[in-house]
Amino acid sequence: MCPGSSSSSLCLCLCSSRTQENFTVPGAAAGEMAGEAFGAVMRLENLLRMGMFWTLAVIYSYAQLLHQKLFRSGIIFSRSPRIAPDGARLVCIVTGASSGIGRATAEALAVHGYHVILAGRARTRLLEVVWAIRRKHDNVSLEALELDLCSVGSILSFVDQVKSMLQASQGSKALQLLVNNAGILAGSSRCTETGSDSMITSNYLGPYLLTQHLLPHFHQGHPRARIVNVTSFTHRCVRAGIVDEKQLARGSLANFPLHKSWYSLAQVYENSKFCLLLFTYELHRRFHDGTDSFKLSVMAADPGIVRTNIMRELPSSLVSFTYFVLSILRLLQDPSDGSKAVLDAALAPEDVSGEYFFGGNGRTVRSSALSYDKVLAKQIWRLSNSICQRAMENEEQ
Ligand SMILES: NC(=O)c1ccc[n+]([C@@H]2O[C@H](COP(=O)([O-])OP(=O)(O)OC[C@H]3O[C@@H](n4cnc5c(N)ncnc54)[C@H](OP(=O)(O)O)[C@@H]3O)[C@@H](O)[C@H]2O)c1
């Protein structure tokens, strides 16, 4: 259990299971969404943020790596083998494993000897990945479980299934690693039934709730249990102020209030990744305050810019153009390169925690100064708790 939380505070919730969303939308609705996405992206603010600020943010991270190389500073963590306790098999969960970085991460961890639970919204997509990995590698242990991070019912049912699987294994399987990788870049504003924005819910509130509910099920021996949150260099663009519950549920972090007439998708995405990062560091601090003997390790991983399906809701011509420019700038990676920072974070030595992995080869950088703000992190934690509590109550009614 998370130190500083009561078991009831772990029972947090976001939205009703009736709000489950799927990316497969009927033709007319898809057309409408694409139109909306085009309109939203073309807003000057979104164009500026995504085209300029995000590029500068990733360049800033690479500049840190260059500085470390030139001055031989910075910490590099080698990957260390994970030996399961008493012949048990270590289990890891990778959310969003049906495509992109999650898929590449799941494959690498399976090859590394983990029993990998691939989690995502569509079982068929997950099974295709399971079969593809099995065709490539012998002796890998994989299973697919449905999980929709926008649905409280789905999160709770997922946790129940993991718990049952661990119990049924009678100690032959031990949950050691959770990779919170799933995420979206929504092209249009969509709300869950309790009124939360679907992007902040998929990228932050859902993973927050999932993590809190899984905490009691991590094994407590060696190798130490670990959570890896996949965040993004875009968090560097966030300038947060005082926030309230309503704003957070909409994906806003004050200072720059969101527009009412169109969707500030770039800002909501940045905020969601920033909140996930604040959560990472706050969870790390709670497990390393010296009072709890169960030391969970918590990491942030930033894959850089990766060619995946993340921009699937944006106009395809704009996506192709963006990838073209990024590849000329040599900033675009494929998913297996993008997953390197995630794997470095997952496999770094046991006693490492609270680090921000970027650039592969075990390298870490500093995230934005604001992301280390302890007061803000506590405030966002508290607000997330109460948003989730309320949604949980709705679910129970
Ligand atoms: N690509 C980049 O340049 C980049 C850069 C920095 C950070 N990241 C982060 O890396 C992570 C992986 O993204 P990606 O680039 O690999 O994108 P992707 O190819 O679109 O993969 C996203 C995954 O998330 C899953 N997902 C989305 N919404 C979900 C929900 N509500 N519940 C459960 N699963 C959900 C999707 O699965 P289903 O649709 O099958 O459910 C999919 O497997 C994201 O968190 C993203 O923010 C990406």
Distance 106 CA to ligand 1 centre (A): 13
Tokens 């309790």 belong to residue: 194
Asked whether the predicted pLDDT for residue 330 surpasses 60, the reply is yes
Position 394 scores a pLDDT of 82
Q: For residue range 188-247, what is the model confidence (pLDDT) as tens digits?
A: 889 887 789 999 999 999 999 999 999 999 998 889 999 999 999 999 999 877 788 888
Q: For residue range 294-311, what is the model confidence (pLDDT) as tens digits?
A: 689 999 999 999 999 999
Helices 100-111 and 340-347, packing angle to 10 deg: 40
Contact call for residues 152 and 17 (beta carbons, < 8 A): yes
More confident residue, 94 or 13: 94
CATH number of 12-396: 3.40.50.720
Distance 293 CA to ligand 1 centre (A): 34
Domain residue spans in the chain? 12-396
Q: 82 falls in which pLDDT band (50, 70, 90)? A: confident
Distance 310 CA to ligand 1 centre (A): 6
Position 33 scores a pLDDT of 64
Q: For residue range 111-125, what is the model confidence (pLDDT) as tens digits?
A: 999 999 999 999 999
**Across the strands, what pairs with 142?**
116
Quote the distance between the C-alpha of residue 386 and its chain's center: 21
Least confident piece of the model among 87-91, 256-260, 331-335: 256-260
Contact call for residues 298 and 283 (beta carbons, < 8 A): yes
Position 7 scores a pLDDT of 35
Mean pLDDT value of segment 342-368:
96
Please choose from 15, 21, 55, 99 the residue to mutate so as to test ligand 1's pocket, defined by most ligand atoms within 8 A of CB. 99
Q: What is the DSSP letter of 72?
A: T
Mean pLDDT value of segment 69-95:
88
Give ligand 1 pocket residues (Cβ under 6 A).
23, 95-96, 98-102, 120-122, 125, 147-150, 181-184, 202, 230, 232, 303, 305-306, 308-310
Mean pLDDT of the chain: 88
Asked whether the predicted pLDDT for residue 12 surpasses 70, the reply is no
| Prediction pTM value | 0.91
Q: 73 falls in which pLDDT band (50, 70, 90)? A: confident
DSSP 115-153: EEEEEES-HHHHHHHHHHHHHH-SS-EEEEEE--TT-HH
Distance 184 CA to ligand 1 centre (A): 5
More confident residue, 73 or 367: 367
